[in-house]
Structure 1
Amino acid sequence: MAKAICIIGESGAGKTTSLRNLNPEETFFIDADKKGGSWKGFRKQYNSENKNYEATDDPTRVLALMKNISEKTGIKYVVIDTLNGIMIGEEMRRSKEKGYDKWMDLANHIYSILDIVSKLREDLTIIYTAHSETEYEEDGVLMTRMKTSGKKTKRLIPESKFNVVLLAKSINGRYIFETHSNNSTAKTPFGAFEEDEIENDIVPVLKVLEEY
């Protein structure tokens, strides 16, 4: 079983930028948003020549890439940026369809992309990014969670598939990760992080999580 991390946050909160210090020689970047990275030099680090980049929001292709990377490469990290890119891409491709099946298929695609982690090699880490949304619960409390397309996908509660969910935030020009729930679905293993807020950099996070 591979490890899985989810980074959620609003647009501009630093989700993709937090990946800037990953080693490109050990990382494959699946660009479902088709916009590239948000730091200088991204295109030189990740491209088809280096065989570590593909822009696709096709869920079938994403699954095939994940399986191939696990079985045939020594890659250590797979980035999927973002899950919402896959959801929206599939929703738009089937925008003229009506009825239950379309939304059930969409939920099944997302479930498969999350569930495949259990079938991948154990020294592989999948880093998913996703947009967040903040809305009121039935008891009137604001809750920040992963933004999803369709009621079926929301009912999956995607964060339940992760032991690690980091909430990326930009506060007064400072970019941070929220590590524990504060009216959000953020969570990390017990004792892994004492601080509620840590630096927006996935590499130190990965080093801490190696023990878990």
Structure 2
Amino acid sequence: MIIGLAGLSGTGKSTSLRYLDYKTTFIISCTNKQLQIPGFRRKYKKAEVVNKKPVGNWLVSNDYTTIGKWLKIIDKLRPDIKTVVVDDANYCLSNNIMDSALEKGWDKHVIFAKNYYDLIMEASELREDLNVVFISHIINAGTDLDEHWQLYSSGKMLDRTVNIDGLFSYILYTERQVDDDGNISYFFRTKTNGNDTCRSVDGCFKDKLIEPNMQKVLDTIHNFEYGEEEEEIADDNNETNNDNDILNEAN
């Protein structure tokens, strides 16, 4: 299952990850900024392949190929991992754009769209018990008078090629509110305000504003989709996989 978490800088997107169980979580950081998690250097170790065995739970990369290889490794060889977070996913797109900044022509924008689309679709096709959370900034694709907020993209040429937001059933938006006394509160919003792409499946969340706790979000979605009596997720993967080939791709 893929889930989107989107918002402006400083609204609590990355901070919400502190509630995840690090023993079952793998974080892909698309920037070099440190994790907003207490004790993260102890909890999250560099992802690498040691003696043909994948270890660690923190990868720093905004390269589509590298991220794709590790998603495949996690899917097939890391059953202990239940949640993958692609933090600041929009920097994959930004990196792609900057690498091709001097190239001319429309074709490159199609490639930008395809790379981002392929990454999201690959994540959506991983094993059933694996959640993949894409964290992204948002951009106003409308005007100052008629706002329309959506997941960050490179502009209208990319948007005309693929509707990134439309690939998600769940896109929660982060909210930062300041009261009259200057106290700041943070929330996740589960439904649209009418001028954005925030969304969730009808009936999943009772409230429009909820606690910014990513683990509670995942639990709520799971309980909604599987019912109050959680059924064991069947392992329908009967294919024989070549583990060494998968690992070699990551080196």
Query: Could you say which TM-score interval applies, normalised by the shorter chain?
Result: over 0.9
Taking only the aligned residue pairs, the percentage that are identical comes to 30
Identify the residue that residue 136 of structure 2 maps to in structure 1.
130
Shift of residue 61, structure 1, vs aligned partner? 1.0
Identify the residue that residue 19 of structure 2 maps to in structure 1.
21
Identify the residue that residue 178 of structure 1 maps to in structure 2.
189
Identify the residue that residue 47 of structure 1 maps to in structure 2.
45
- Structure 2 counterpart of 1:111, from 109, 117, 123: 117
Identify the residue that residue 80 of structure 1 maps to in structure 2.
86
Identify the residue that residue 10 of structure 1 maps to in structure 2.
8
Contiguous gaps of at least 5 residues in structure 1: none
Shift of residue 86, structure 1, vs aligned partner? 0.4
- Structure 1 counterpart of 2:201, from 175, 189, 193: 189
Shift of residue 40, structure 1, vs aligned partner? 2.6
Q: For the residues of structure 2 that align with 1:46 and 1:36, how far apart are their CA atoms?
A: 11
Shift of residue 110, structure 1, vs aligned partner? 0.3
Find the residue that maps to 1:12 and give its secondary structure: coil
Q: For the residues of structure 2 that align with 1:187 and 1:54, how far apart are their CA atoms?
A: 28
Q: For the residues of structure 2 that align with 1:7 and 1:125, how far apart are their CA atoms?
A: 13
Identify the residue that residue 247 of structure 2 maps to in structure 1.
none
The two structures have a TM-score, normalised by structure 1, of: 0.92
Q: Report how many aligned residue pairs link the two structures.
A: 209
Q: Do the aligned residues in 2 keep the contact of 1:103 with 1:150 (CA within 8 Å)?
A: no
Instruction: Kindly provide the amino acid, as one letter, of the partner of residue 152 in structure 2.
Output: K
Q: For the residues of structure 2 that align with 1:101 and 1:60, how far apart are their CA atoms?
A: 20
The two structures have a TM-score, normalised by structure 2, of: 0.78
Q: Do the aligned residues in 1 keep the contact of 2:18 with 2:38 (CA within 8 Å)?
A: no
**Does 1:99 find its partner at 2:105?**
yes
The range that moved more, 92-101 or 53-62, is 92-101
Find the residue that maps to 2:4 and give its secondary structure: strand
Shift of residue 152, structure 1, vs aligned partner? 4.0
Q: For the residues of structure 1 that align with 2:133 and 2:158, how far apart are their CA atoms?
A: 19
Contiguous gaps of at least 5 residues in structure 2: 48-54, 179-183, 226-251
Shift of residue 60, structure 1, vs aligned partner? 1.1
The range that moved more, 21-30 or 41-50, is 41-50
1:148-159 correspondence runs (5 A)? 148-155=153-160, 156-159=162-165
Shift of residue 177, structure 1, vs aligned partner? 0.6
Runs of 4+ in structure 1 deviating by more than 6 angstroms, as ranges, are none
Answer with 1 or 2: which has the greater Rg: 2
CA RMSD of aligned residues (A): 1.7
Show CA shifts across 1:146-194 (max 9, x none).
1111434323221111111000111111110110010211111111112
Q: Do the aligned residues in 2 keep the contact of 1:110 with 1:153 (CA within 8 Å)?
A: no
Q: For the residues of structure 2 that align with 1:60 and 1:98, how far apart are their CA atoms?
A: 23
Find the residue that maps to 1:166 and give its secondary structure: strand
Alignment CA distance shift 1:191-1:60 (3 Å): same
Q: For the residues of structure 1 that align with 2:25 and 2:159, how far apart are their CA atoms?
A: 29
Q: Do the aligned residues in 2 keep the contact of 1:107 with 1:152 (CA within 8 Å)?
A: no
Show CA shifts across 1:188-209 (max 9, x none).
1111112111111111111110
